[in-house]
Amino acid sequence: MNFKKKPVVIEAVQWTGDNLRTVIDFCGLHPSASQYGWESYESLVKEEGLKIFTLEGKMNADIGDWIIKGVKGEFYPCKDEIFKLTYDPVE
């Protein structure tokens, strides 16, 4: 069988490596990060990479990946090349 993706407008932000505050404002701070002060958390992300907590578990987001808010309010990373093939900007 073949399927066509439903037209859905999504929200997303691209992870640049320098916009941690923007990403956190977008998807929230996971409770496991609440033990850190902001500077410590920024250092941890620089050392270990950005982790996105998805419905399927923890996933790494590489610089250049898009963080997408799904239809149920969940978040997940998407590679830039896949994002560009799948989504067009909406005004």
pLDDT over 90 (residue 5): no
| SS3 at position 45 | helix
Residues paired with 22 in a beta bridge: none
What are the tens digits of pLDDT across the range 29-87? 989 888 999 999 999 999 999 999 999 999 999 999 999 999 899 999 999 999 999 99
Per-residue pLDDT, 3: 84
pLDDT over 90 (residue 19): yes
Per-residue pLDDT, 79: 98
What's the burial of 46, exposed, middle or buried (CB within 10 Å: 0-12/13-18/19+)? exposed
